[in-house]
């Protein structure tokens, strides 16, 4: 089973394994052999489908178009470099036909417990991801966000396999689809399991855009009526919460390209304009205009930004000179 909008071409190596393995670049292989013949097939990979599995060029740009091929090559390279991980890499990546299947396998095995079986979870994740083209786009844009913005991210493969911020986001996307379909109890069960396993709590009714980075992720809380725009980066411990004094629409609305520092708390139904930088440890209780820097408890606007998307540069100390001058001025005023 493969994504609806996928066609043959992107994964031609699945039907031409002999040719591809004999022609591997020397940086990835020193001897030609089939990984599929070396590792036992106990991974419960999803059976091949007669449906196609390459992206239409009119759906994805070239970098998204080739991301699954990059992941497979990275996995093959790591399997040769670390033989102890070879079966794990085969089970998680190389036995699957597309990113959607591999992601479903990884998420199911991370979240399984005695009453939520991996096979059940894998069916849920596969069915939802395969039938929602928007999720298929989001999982790739999020992968790019982690790889491009997090300097500790070694590869697309490592993000897919090990990064709990990425895992939490993708389970949220499945839970959000379930919520919209009226399957709210199952959506909440997934939210609860993610909170238990990863320490990240995202309500399935929240609305989150594409190209999101949850850096580290631990302690992130995103409430039911929160909205997060595209290309937003959130550090660990960020809270998008309510004030506890109101019902209904009660959570923050974060614009595109926003960078939110570690342990920042944003409360209430307030607007955070696009391209805002919120300093670590800030408590934001009021609307923030676009292209501003806010800091403090409670947070105040302390400067302006020329960057279009501070979330992309992740340059927390980009205004170091500004803060130095600001501190000097405050000392002079006192």
Quote the tokens at residue 115: 């009453």
Confidence at residue 23, expressed as pLDDT on a 0 to 100 scale: 44
pTM above 0.85, yes or no: no
Mean pLDDT for the stretch of residues 67-71: 93
> What is the CATH code of the structural domain delimited by 206-318?
2.160.10.10
In eight-state DSSP terms, residue 47 is P
Q: CA–CA separation, 309 vs 51, rounded Å?
A: 39
- Where is pLDDT greater, at 206 or 150? 206
Confidence at residue 331, expressed as pLDDT on a 0 to 100 scale: 57
What share of the chain has pLDDT > 90, as a percent?
65
CATH fold label, 1-200:
1.10.3130
Confidence at residue 3, expressed as pLDDT on a 0 to 100 scale: 54
Confidence at residue 288, expressed as pLDDT on a 0 to 100 scale: 95
Beta bridge partners of 201: 221
Which of 293, 267, 295, 301 has its CA nearest to residue 281? Answer: 295
Of 16-25, 127-136, 235-244, 302-311, which gets the smallest average pLDDT?
Answer: 16-25
Mean pLDDT for the stretch of residues 180-186: 96
Q: CA–CA separation, 165 vs 87, rounded Å?
A: 24
- Where is pLDDT greater, at 152 or 332? 152
1-200 and 206-318, same CATH topology: no
Quote the tokens at residue 208: 């989150």
- Spans of all domains in the chain: 1-200, 206-318
Of 53-57, 95-99, 140-144, 232-236, which gets the smallest average pLDDT?
Answer: 53-57
């Amino acid at each position: 089973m493969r994504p609806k909008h996928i066609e043959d071409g992107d994964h031609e190596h699945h039907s031409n394994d002999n040719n591809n393995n004999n022609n591997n670049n020397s940086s990835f292989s020193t001897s030609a052999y089939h990984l599929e013949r070396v590792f036992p097939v106990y991974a419960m990979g999803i059976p091949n489908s007669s449906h196609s599995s390459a992206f239409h060029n009119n759906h994805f740009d070239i970098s998204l178009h080739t991301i699954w091929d990059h992941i497979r090559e990275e996995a093959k390279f790591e399997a040769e470099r670390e033989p102890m991980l070879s079966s794990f890499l085969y089970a998680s990546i190389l036995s699957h036909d597309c990113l959607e299947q591999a992601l479903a396998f990884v998420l199911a095995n991370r979240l399984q417990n005695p009453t939520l079986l991996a096979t059940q979870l894998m069916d849920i994740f596969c069915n939802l991801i395969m039938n929602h083209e928007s999720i298929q786009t989001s999982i790739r844009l999020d992968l790019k966000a982690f790889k491009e913005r997090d300097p500790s991210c070694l590869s697309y493969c490592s993000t897919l396999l090990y990064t709990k911020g990425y895992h939490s986001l993708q389970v949220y996307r499945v839970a959000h689809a379930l919520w919209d379909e009226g399957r709210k109890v199952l959506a909440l069960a997934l939210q609860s399991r993610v909170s238990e396993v990863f320490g990240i709590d995202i309500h399935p009714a929240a609305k989150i855009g594409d190209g999101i980075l949850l850096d580290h992720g631990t302690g992130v809380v995103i409430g039911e009526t929160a909205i997060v725009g595209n290309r937003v980066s959130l550090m660990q411990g960020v809270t998008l919460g309510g004030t506890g004094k109101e019902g209904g629409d009660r959570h923050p609305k974060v614009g595109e390209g926003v960078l939110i520092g570690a342990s920042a708390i944003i409360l209430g139904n307030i607007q955070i304009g696009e391209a805002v930088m919120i300093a670590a440890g800030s408590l934001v209780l009021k609307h923030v205009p676009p292209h501003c820097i806010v800091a403090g408890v409670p947070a105040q606007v302390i400067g302006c930004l020329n960057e279009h998307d501070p979330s992309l540069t992740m340059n927390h100390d980009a205004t170091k000179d500004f803060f130095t001058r600001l501190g000097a001025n405050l000392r002079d005023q006192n």
